[in-house]
Structure 1
Amino acid sequence: MSAHESPKITAIHTAMTSTSSTSGPELLDERSLGGIFVHLLGLLTGFLGPAVVYVVSDHEYTRTNARHALNWHITVFVLSIVAMVTFFLGADELTVGGEPVELSLLPAPLDTVFGIVGMILVVIMMIALLLTFVYTIVATLKAIFGSIWPYPGSVDFVGWFH
C-alpha cells in the first residue's frame, strides 16, 4: 500500500483481485459481459432486453443474470398494471380540459375501497420503480465481481414457464 492510498481502497482492490484467480479471456469463460450488462439493459428496455438476452444466450452466467433481471422487470410491470387499473377503477372523477367529469365505474362502497387500495398500490409501484435503479446498480456490481444476485421481492415468472 502506498502512502496516499487509504486502507479502504486497498481492501476494495484486494476484494476485486481475489474474487477470481483467472484473468483476461479465461475470466470471460467464467462470467460474460452479457451477464454484467443485462442489468443495465433492463433499466433501459424494461423486461424486453433481458428477455431477448435470456432467450438467445447460451452462457449460463448470462442466462442466470438475465433471468433475475427479467423476473424483476416483469414483477414491476405487472405491479404497475394492477396498480393503475385498481386506482382508475376507484376514481370517481376525472379532470378533462380543466373541468371535473364524473366517472364512476363501480358502485359507491366499492369505488372507495378500490381507490384506497389503488393509492396504496401506486405508492408501492413508485417504491418498486425507485428500487429498480438501486437493484440495477447492485446487481451490476455483483455481476462485475462474479456474483449472481437475485433481485429481492421479485416473482420467479421465468421459473413458472421454464
Structure 2
Amino acid sequence: MTATPTSAGPELLDERSIGGILVHLLGLVTGFLGPIVVYVVSDHEFTRTNARHVINWHVTVFALWIVTFVTFFLGADEITVGGEPTEVSLLPAPLDTVFAIVGILLLIVLMVAILLTFVYTIVATVKAIFGSIWAYPGSIEVVERYR
C-alpha cells in the first residue's frame, strides 16, 4: 500500500496570524491601548479585525467604568476625610438617592463586564487559534473598518 500525500489544506498562517491570536491576551493586560497599537501597525486583515473587536470591547467597558464612577459619585452624599464625615452631595436630596441606587446597579453591571472580559478573552483567543474571528457580544462598535 502506498501512502498518498494528503493536502494540508489552506495555509493557516496566511489566513490568520499570531498577532491576531495574541491581541486578545494583550487587551487583557493593557486594556484598549495595546490593541490600538496593533491595529495601527498591522497590515494583516485577520489581526486588524481581531484588534478592532478587542478595542471595541475594552472601550465599552472603560466607558461603563466612567459612567459608573460619575453616577456613583453624584449619588454620594457624604465621604469620610480624616475620620470626619463631610457632606459632598452635588444634587438635592431625592436625586442623590436615585443616583446612588443607579450607581450601585451600574457597579454590579461593571463587575459582570469585568468578569466577562476574562471569559470573552479566552473564547476569542481559542476562536482565533482555530482561524475564526469572534466579535465580543455587547460591545459598542467604536472602531469601524478603515482602509
Give the TM-score normalised by structure 2.
0.90
CA distance in 2 between counterparts of 1:57 and 1:44 reads: 19
2:98 is the counterpart of 1:123: no
Point out where structure 2 has 5 or more consecutive residues left out of the alignment.
1-7
Residue deviations 1:105-129, cap 9 Å, x none?
A: 1111111111111111111011101
- List 4+ stretches of structure 1 deviating above 6 A: none
> Displacement of 1:150 after TM fit?
0.3
Q: Which SS does the other structure have where 1:158 is aligned? A: coil
Q: Secondary structure at the match of 2:143?
A: helix
Question: 2:4 is matched with which residue?
Answer: none
Q: Which amino acid counterpart does residue 126 of structure 1 have in structure 2?
A: M
CA deviation string 1:67-105 (max 9, x = no partner): 000000000000000000000000001122233221111
Equivalence for 1:71: 56
Candidates 81, 86, 93, aligned match of 2:71: 86
Aligned counterpart in structure 1 of residue 46 of structure 2, from 61, 76, 101: 61
**Structure 1 residue aligned with 2:3:** none
Structure with greater proportional helix content: 1
| Equivalence for 1:21 | 9
Q: Who is 1:112 aligned against?
A: 97
Partner of 1:3: none
Supply the AA of the counterpart residue of 1:49.
G
Aligned partner of 2:35 in structure 1 is 50
The share of aligned pairs that are identical, in percent, is 75
| Aligned equivalent of 1:6 | none
Report the residue type matching 1:80 in the other structure: W
Superposed CA RMSD: 1.4
CA contact (8 A) 2:32 2:55 kept: yes
